[in-house]
Structure 1
């Protein structure tokens, strides 16, 4: 059972709420939430009574008898059941209401399965019961449909609270908690997110999915293919929803299931003779897995699993109807000047000629607005030979594939249709696409070379093409270390922008500018750029970034840098599938590395390594050497955080690729600004106690970075140099270097950049921050002092927290085998929950073992326990 603590707390804390209504279709956990409310109210000392209703309770005398029994649980004065046995329902009702009104202590009466009541007399009784409730009494109702009760006044006066299917749906976190508790279900974060999206957090669908997942060999494959047509789900939907409707409603549901949005007039076009508005209102009131879409018009949509189930049943029972229904929908949308949904239905109706003409009319606008995944979906469903007859459509297809499928598939479109050989606008635009393909393939020198030719021919291409080309060249020149040329091209791109509708290029320009700012150590300015790129289109996460990860991944990295790890993880999970499809090397590395670091800091060490394994696998499959090396460099840092020096040395040696790093040395690549083989080698040498060798590397790297103005790299190098100097006993130089770097870092608001460097850098910072914070720094520079204090708190006291190193002796009471297992997992960074899962014990058992370990080792924290164990040789 997943705890719905937020709902329970809000409902139990609500003052003046006479009626609490939970209404949603079957399987949304209404009874579970009500039970949790019951437990919480009892814990608070509130008297509670519960009555589960059924159809027989439409008999008023029976309902009164049940209510009397429930009220007996509330501590009321015993009633006189003989009166109700005489058949005098009126007298029994009056007595019931009187007993409720006379209750003096806080109480709550729970009525579950309220949808079974439909008789006017019993509904009137409940309405009078609500009116009779004293201020300290509440009625909590669970129902599959909205009850026929006088609720308007209660809503207006704030005396009613309700949870509908949206509120009762699991959040992404609750979905994760539920799946974690399901035996045998071990989904990665991406699959959890995908399953949550498909089920829309519908608890029963997740429960049914978990049953299959617990037996599935290929859990990722099951999640990918999961839909409303899965047997367990379809059986549930048939038994609990569709088959409970009358014939008219069933036919309406089946025939309108082809629609993404149910509008009354559109429904009437598909189901002639029906009253669309009345039927939709009726279905919404009955909670038939129908959601109203936000807005003033009465527009609805089916729950995605219900829609998939209905469409499968329609195709099975009435296949001959499908072309007619899709054609009717296409004609209605065209008549209402809405070509995008018309194209969707035209494709389904196989009206290819009309669809090709429509795509030609709206495709350019889709590119400019960033609706690129929409274009890709259309081209995937259109015949290749028909698209090949239209060069303009081929260009649109190449652009769309470039930004959603990656450079290889875009190149295949160009090559198959020989677009670069075309004269005029088509050939010029094809050359711009080829420039983008080279840049996305990590060939920035090739991109710059082809791009110069494309720029010469750009005047005759479309405005969209000219703008993308200018942005692409800005990115290429930035990577090649020519910032002036990059900014010049960015200015040209911005001059071409066509206003708010040119969302894609607005996002692209601001993202490139942000990456340049980041390299120049203008973190706050870069952050503003990425936020501006993110707001190029307002809607849900995917639409907000125009179906593209260019802005999403950098913004997620910015939020991670600020330690907003939950938001960063959410953004990255949204865009990870896109990143993998497109295979932008820098975005691939940054997204996986950041997710790995988040997982490690949450104590999910296995997940941290899994992200890096996935990154390495993608790099090997796509033959991206820099991506493979990026996974190994980050795995090196992960092992350093665990204190596993031999494994770290093995990984850094595996990242040895002289040709690659010689190529990367002079390039300003976002993913390798702070992580190169030489910089990571210096980190390993520091951990191995070879500070002099590390300092030689760091000094050489600083000398190379200085003339190239690689200011963010210089900042990190200074922190590492301070750590090396401290290890060499040059305390004065170490403190001076650390102090200068800290002031720069504080000015820009960095945090994770420092915390992720581990103990060597942390020691150097403590050496400077301790005296500074205990001196007059808080008075002279309170803003800097506040930032420094927060950073110091996050770093912790370190091994030198005491004035002298504590001399330790072997514990008198040796650690047990289980405690040694706990200690080893603890040293590797696992959280309590992760340790409990690995050892098949409860969280409380883990906490007990940790208390015993601290007691035996005479330590006060997890960090101290690990340090003491290493000092004693208990841990290697």
Structure 2
């Protein structure tokens, strides 16, 4: 509901680290890793405890592979779905810039798609990458524990993407199906035992790399004591530098790894000059180091030169960029240094964190600044920086961090900040956590001060707008309207964002109360205000509300104009939020009613894809229902059933109640098309609506479904129900339902013909101004026969040239001419083949399979099947050979 900024990425984390100076070559391990790539194995696992040289090996491997390489260095904050997905897609884009074009705005809007939807989008994009499989290396993967992220990677691995190879560098095995991958020979593994240095590799490190003069027995003893542990050998080498009697020191090493590590760290520090020791300890609190930052923390003026010197000396410092400006300590070494700092100078810790926080705040790194301020106990600055940056940080993937920061703040600091409380309220409302919004509303209300200053009035207006949207989402429409009106009465005229938010709540509430005029007025105000405020999400939600409501009320042209204008403007400006899928779904429904089936399918499929990526269940469900209707009309009943099954699964996960009746109605329609009246009745009984209940805008879809079932069964209540639906729809001005009810009543009252004709003429009169066509075609041969009795045009009218503009009645009758067989009613031809259908027809004539056509045209297999159904229907055939022969006779080939 608030415009999300574009995420701020730490680009250095997307760059492959620089290999340590004089790193030991490991040709045997590199060969094993390359063998796995050549064999097409999907996952490479480099797993061992800290200090075994995992990252160094991965860097060496990545430098010589013949594949595009994407690299991502992970940290603890990345164990958050949005943050991980944002960085993961950004990393893949370093290898294939066009990859994830649809995902980037989705993630920028602050809501990660469901794992399956995200994986499907990535797999589609990866399949189109021409440079070959991308090797994506995720370093420090042990920080990832989130089930969402693991589900995403499992989806990618289990669907065997041809365009992706994953490599995980980790201290522990991830919760992924490793056994299954191992059984399928899809896993390459490098473990601690493989990474241990042999005596020859220890000699290469200590003698060649560090210039130490060690005897073979000394090397053997070191390798034995450290068990080939790279970090232990490295620290031992640093401790040995400058010693006159290295053999004596080597013989003193004994004990556990942890003991040796602590002992060697003390030795390494003791051998550094005093200023270097102090620098190492003070800067160990930093996740990333650069000269200016280290100067600010330590009070020095030469940190950049010292960092370069330490890196050259191979003192556990890792360079994160080619310019050698940013570094980090090896995680193991940093932890040991921090332990030393806490033991030696615990009083320094808070001041060092305070200085680091101030530097990061001044350099546009609010998340890191807040972490340091919390570590310093500087709560006033935490609140100040959160007030300034909370929403931006939310949309950069810091949702979990925000929650952690919120709970880390003492209650008295949280309760003092109205701005912070409102931001967290919007955040939770936007994510559908309605039960978590009320406590924040109460807290914000308690902190509202009485007064008439601009700031006080603006705060109360935003609180009212938040409350109105929360009430509307919870179905408390009258209270929502009251709160929204109160917000609009006091909000300053310049606060367009709050005006848009309050108007959205007002329009949504009036829509649910079936008050078209008031809802339209409020929604148009929300659209305009939020557009001027740059709030794309609120603008799109308000536009979707208006388009869907207009379709329900039979205002197809209004629905099309507002949806198409918003789609075009936001898409061309490259500012489209993922919720734009709701508008594609609404526009696809309009095109279907106009019988522009290709445009309908394009918008509906895009609507499903974007809505699924946005995780917006409501728009995904109603768009899937519309797509099912389209497939059913084309005779693709299995595809229609699949769409409805997906919609039902989403409904079970949670969605607004208003989408459920439409889903049930479509399930009933499909069951009746399959001749299964028993299943249709079962669906209706489960819907919980008695057919004798009063008809209103909320029950209309289910009452119409009951009417269809009654008509099939010849139920005695059919006529009464038809009249009740007609009366309710007419009274409410809901033309779409009224037209359907009139057409069903016409079929019911075919005898005498005069009554059927009266219903048909009325339906045609209502439908023609808005261009309704498909509602007539979908009723099939019974309605076609009734239309014929009104005086149909000649049979040649079934193909209407583009230059001719026949009346709606001629279109309907031409499309439904009784000479067609029943199987062809849904696909009756009244227009020439589209350009895409002609293209598919030519490929059919060449003998290509459906899968080959899908690959050639870069579309889904389902899309090809739909085009073929359309072609067969328009040509009046049911086999490929007949279609080709007929097309040749007509001069289409």
Structure 2 Cα separation of the partners of residues 326 and 718 of structure 1: 73
What is the aligned partner in structure 1 of residue 684 from structure 2?
652
> Which residue, out of 458, 463, 486, partners 1:430?
463
Pairs within 5 Å for 1:615-654? 615-618=650-653, 628-654=660-686
Is 2:646 the partner of 1:611? yes
What is the aligned partner in structure 1 of residue 720 from structure 2?
696
RMSD: 6.5
Is 2:516 the partner of 1:483? yes
What is the aligned partner in structure 2 of residue 568 from structure 1?
604
How much does 1:503 deviate?
A: 2.7
What is the aligned partner in structure 2 of residue 195 from structure 1?
119
Is 2:546 the partner of 1:503? no
**CA deviation profile, 1:802-848 (whole Å, cap 9, x unmatched):** 99xxxxxxxxxxxxxxxxxxxxxxxxxxx999xxxxxxxxx9xxx9x
Q: Which deviates more from structure 2 when the two are superposed, residues 488-497 or residues 778-787?
A: 778-787
Contact 1:652-1:681 at 8 Å conserved across structures:
yes
Partner SS, residue 731 of structure 2: coil
**CA deviation profile, 1:841-863 (whole Å, cap 9, x unmatched):** xx9xxx9xxxxxxxxxxx97499
Partner SS, residue 398 of structure 1: helix
> Which residue, out of 704, 710, 730, partners 1:685?
710
Contact 1:639-1:647 at 8 Å conserved across structures:
yes
What is the aligned partner in structure 1 of residue 871 from structure 2?
none
Contact 1:777-1:785 at 8 Å conserved across structures:
no
Contact 1:636-1:652 at 8 Å conserved across structures:
yes
Contact 1:480-1:666 at 8 Å conserved across structures:
no
Structure 1 Cα separation of the partners of residues 360 and 559 of structure 2: 42
Contact 2:781-2:822 at 8 Å conserved across structures:
no
What is the aligned partner in structure 2 of residue 343 from structure 1?
366
Residues matched between the structures, number: 582
Contact 1:718-1:738 at 8 Å conserved across structures:
yes
Structure 1 unpaired stretches of 5+: 1-24, 33-114, 118-141, 147-162, 174-188, 210-217, 248-254, 277-289, 291-297, 300-309, 804-830, 834-842, 848-858, 864-876
Contact 1:432-1:469 at 8 Å conserved across structures:
yes
Contact 1:769-1:792 at 8 Å conserved across structures:
no
Partner SS, residue 532 of structure 2: coil
**CA deviation profile, 1:170-216 (whole Å, cap 9, x unmatched):** 9999xxxxxxxxxxxxxxx965432245666378689999xxxxxxx
Structure 2 Cα separation of the partners of residues 591 and 437 of structure 1: 25
Q: Quick one: structure 1 residues 714 and 391, their matched pair in 2 at CA, closer, same or farther if it must change by over 3 Å?
A: same
What is the aligned partner in structure 2 of residue 129 from structure 1?
none
Q: Quick one: structure 1 residues 27 and 466, their matched pair in 2 at CA, closer, same or farther if it must change by over 3 Å?
A: farther
Contact 2:504-2:542 at 8 Å conserved across structures:
yes
Contact 2:664-2:684 at 8 Å conserved across structures:
yes
TM-score normalised by structure 2 residue count: 0.50
How much does 1:402 deviate?
A: 1.3
What is the aligned partner in structure 1 of residue 701 from structure 2?
676
Partner SS, residue 782 of structure 1: coil
What is the aligned partner in structure 2 of residue 814 from structure 1?
none
What is the aligned partner in structure 2 of residue 533 from structure 1?
566
Is 2:446 the partner of 1:517? no
Q: Which deviates more from structure 2 when the two are superposed, residues 531-540 or residues 448-457?
A: 531-540
Is 2:734 the partner of 1:710? yes
Pairs within 5 Å for 1:278-293? none
Q: Quick one: structure 1 residues 771 and 440, their matched pair in 2 at CA, closer, same or farther if it must change by over 3 Å?
A: same
Contact 2:390-2:423 at 8 Å conserved across structures:
yes
Is 2:804 the partner of 1:782? yes
Contact 2:684-2:706 at 8 Å conserved across structures:
yes
What is the aligned partner in structure 2 of residue 379 from structure 1?
402
How much does 1:741 deviate?
A: 3.9
How much does 1:517 deviate?
A: 3.0
Contact 2:415-2:447 at 8 Å conserved across structures:
no
Pairs within 5 Å for 1:286-365? 339=364, 342-346=365-369, 356-362=383-389
What is the aligned partner in structure 1 of residue 477 from structure 2?
444
How much does 1:499 deviate?
A: 2.3
Structure 2 unpaired stretches of 5+: 1-32, 41-62, 71-92, 104-112, 139-146, 156-165, 197-204, 210-283, 297-302, 309-320, 339-348, 451-455, 826-848, 852-860, 866-875, 881-893
Structure 1 Cα separation of the partners of residues 490 and 818 of structure 2: 59
How much does 1:734 deviate?
A: 4.0
Structure 2 Cα separation of the partners of residues 523 and 496 of structure 1: 24
What is the aligned partner in structure 2 of residue 41 from structure 1?
none
Contact 1:419-1:427 at 8 Å conserved across structures:
no
**CA deviation profile, 1:261-286 (whole Å, cap 9, x unmatched):** xx9x99xx9x968999xxxxxxxxxx
How much does 1:482 deviate?
A: 3.1
Q: Quick one: structure 1 residues 735 and 506, their matched pair in 2 at CA, closer, same or farther if it must change by over 3 Å?
A: same
Partner SS, residue 732 of structure 2: coil
What is the aligned partner in structure 1 of residue 152 from structure 2?
223
What is the aligned partner in structure 2 of residue 395 from structure 1?
422
Contact 1:346-1:354 at 8 Å conserved across structures:
no
Which has the higher relative contact order, 1 or 2, with Cα contacts under 8 A spaced 6 or more apart?
Answer: 2
Structure 2 Cα separation of the partners of residues 327 and 539 of structure 1: 45
Contact 2:418-2:448 at 8 Å conserved across structures:
no
Pairs within 5 Å for 1:456-475? 456-458=489-491, 462-475=495-508
What is the aligned partner in structure 2 of residue 89 from structure 1?
none
Contact 2:507-2:520 at 8 Å conserved across structures:
yes
Q: Quick one: structure 1 residues 776 and 191, their matched pair in 2 at CA, closer, same or farther if it must change by over 3 Å?
A: closer
Q: Quick one: structure 1 residues 446 and 375, their matched pair in 2 at CA, closer, same or farther if it must change by over 3 Å?
A: farther
What is the aligned partner in structure 2 of residue 65 from structure 1?
none
TM-score normalised by structure 1 residue count: 0.51
Structure 1 Cα separation of the partners of residues 137 and 789 of structure 2: 56
How much does 1:747 deviate?
A: 5.0
Contact 1:435-1:448 at 8 Å conserved across structures:
yes
Q: Quick one: structure 1 residues 274 and 556, their matched pair in 2 at CA, closer, same or farther if it must change by over 3 Å?
A: farther
Structure 1 Cα separation of the partners of residues 687 and 491 of structure 2: 41
How much does 1:393 deviate?
A: 1.1
Contact 1:421-1:427 at 8 Å conserved across structures:
yes
Q: Quick one: structure 1 residues 164 and 205, their matched pair in 2 at CA, closer, same or farther if it must change by over 3 Å?
A: closer
Q: Quick one: structure 1 residues 790 and 681, their matched pair in 2 at CA, closer, same or farther if it must change by over 3 Å?
A: closer
Pairs within 5 Å for 1:718-737? 718-725=742-749, 728-731=750-753, 734=756, 737=759
**CA deviation profile, 1:447-489 (whole Å, cap 9, x unmatched):** 2244344444445995422331123213322432333433443
How much does 1:399 deviate?
A: 1.7
Partner SS, residue 514 of structure 2: coil
Structure 1 Cα separation of the partners of residues 785 and 719 of structure 2: 16
Structure 2 Cα separation of the partners of residues 571 and 729 of structure 1: 43
How much does 1:645 deviate?
A: 0.8
Structure 2 Cα separation of the partners of residues 689 and 360 of structure 1: 65
Q: Quick one: structure 1 residues 467 and 651, their matched pair in 2 at CA, closer, same or farther if it must change by over 3 Å?
A: same
Q: Quick one: structure 1 residues 224 and 802, their matched pair in 2 at CA, closer, same or farther if it must change by over 3 Å?
A: closer
Q: Quick one: structure 1 residues 168 and 487, their matched pair in 2 at CA, closer, same or farther if it must change by over 3 Å?
A: closer
Contact 1:517-1:526 at 8 Å conserved across structures:
yes
